[in-house]
Structure 1
Amino acid sequence: MDTPQNTALTRALTELPGPLPARGVIHIAMRHTDRFTVVGNHLAQHPTLSTTAVGLAVRIQSLPQGTEIGIKALAARLPEGEKLIAAALRELEAHGYLQRARTRLPNGRIVTRTVFCNQPAALLRTRTVPTQPLPPVVREIPAPLPVWAPAPQWDPAPPQAPAPESVPLPATTPPHTAPMPEPQPAASPFVPLVPASTAPKPPPRPLPQPHASTPELHRAATAFLADLRRQTPEFTLSEDDIHRLAPAVAAWLERDAHPDTIRRTLTTDLPQPLRHPAKFLRHRLTALLPPRLPEAHELTPPPTRPRVTVTPFQTCDGCERAFRSHAPGHCRDCRNVHARAAQTAS
């Protein structure tokens, strides 16, 4: 009497069509109208993924776009620990369902961008595009079946006039249908949506070097790198890393960068967790290297070009032609004519 009875489940079992299996699971499929997620059997019945990885993949698919799905964010939302969640994420990443890549924002901050694909096998399928429009599909109209009269039955009554036999209808000839051409594959059918993890990466930029290295500059750079762990424990560097990164810091100091400015640039907006501090420092020292300060002669404005005086146009008082002169009067030809006339008159 203490065992609760689920009458709704029992009533639903009686409404299932067909005979029920003698053993195994019996599905009662109710149609979802809201708050549901479509999951493929390639994931739900994956032969090599663990149950934790499959459940985590289903959980990630149900989250809205833009939700944080890092290890710490998922551990705060799920009962599993960080180690189990990290192992499940690595499984999904190995099978192509998950991809994590580091991206640098325009402000210099490095963030981890996570991309989840609900069907990774579809990204590798060949895409075909028809090169010409397909002709309209013509359906064949089947010929009507012949109608025959029922067989006469024996009757001991007196014979009567035989009933006229029904004549079968003529079969209609189906229209001729042209064969449908097969679509031709495009020139480059494979269009990857996500770059492969084995794609060649560009070579790293060289580490900055000072223009004139001095013992004092090298000593200040090594002291700066060794002092980073006082305020930021993540930057506990080895001696080899300090000697390897010292020329880059010396290049910053040579360009009159203040040590506090360099420390603020290197230790602001750190990724969590910081796995490779030396590589991270190398990237920021190379990518965020400030330009050298301009010298005094470079800040002086360029000399102005001398102003060219243009002689204005004047109208000749005799022939009314235009000529260049600072004062009105006669043009050269009119002046010559007047000069010859004066000589003749004298």
Structure 2
Amino acid sequence: MDTQKPNPVVLASGRNRGDAPRSGVIHVNVRHTRRFTVVGNHLAQHAELSLVAIGLALHIQSLPAGARIGIKDLAARFPESEHRIARALRELEVHGYLARTRVRLPGGQVITRTVSYNRPGCVESDPHPDPRASPHPGPDPHPSPAPSRAAHPAAEAPPATTPAAVSPEAVAPQPPATPRTPGGSLPRPRNPDNPWRHEAAVTVLTDLRRLDSRLLLGRQDIECLAPAVEAWLERGARPGGITAALTANLPPQPRNPAGLVAYRLTAQLPPTLAHLPRPAAHVPPDPFQTCEDETCGLAFRSREPGLCGECRAEAGAA
């Protein structure tokens, strides 16, 4: 009599099993009463985010306020590499699910303020500002713009609850914001999942200091600029041509090498080359034939055996 009965299982497709679809997934949903997170379909079924980014956004939204979500912390928690986690975090920033800004504390320490949005575009300000943070991080001549927050979808009602904010984290494990560009964002390749092209892009950016010591880029700047170089390579540009475009006519003392490289990668992005028609297939020459005149025996090319040209001319004259 004291045995507890389990929660009833309800099929999402209908009350009767006869209503289940003949193919595809069948949902068996059980009502959650504790330890659950509400996630909108605009995130779970996002058409542009990768599967790693969607899963990472779900994990971040399920964490309590104050949890650490640095790249090294996430890499220690999940089997994905730091590179894949950094790329997923950038995807969430581009689509407005995550905002990371640098602020300077009164003591001079620079921290990264990380805010998670469960519905992008509905909250425009920081819901939990840090009273220790100064609104002016310092005399930076080239400040990094805050990432854009695109709404998906745009005409949604404001959320019922305020998104959770994540506590500040150290700058070292976090990638920097995208450097300043003419259009506000760096170009990106259409097919980002190409490890060989990404490795070539990282090599181009790393070797810039070999040609000019003024273009010394940090590891985090290289990770941010690598997708833009991949876009150049995807459009048919060769690594030597990209290096020449980035190192030509440099100013005497560039104050922000990463911003300068980002500007040139965006402003000088080459167009996509038109498809060239394939050349005609190689036509083999006619085979060799031996002149049938017994006194000649000259070898010549012809489709059919017979007399050579001189012998035919003499036979015609006779």
TM range (shorter): 0.3 to 0.5
- Normalised by the length of structure 1, the TM-score is 0.34
How high is the TM-score relative to the length of structure 2?
Answer: 0.37
Higher-RCO chain (CA-CA 8 Å, sequence separation at least 6): 2
The structure that has the greater radius of gyration is: 1
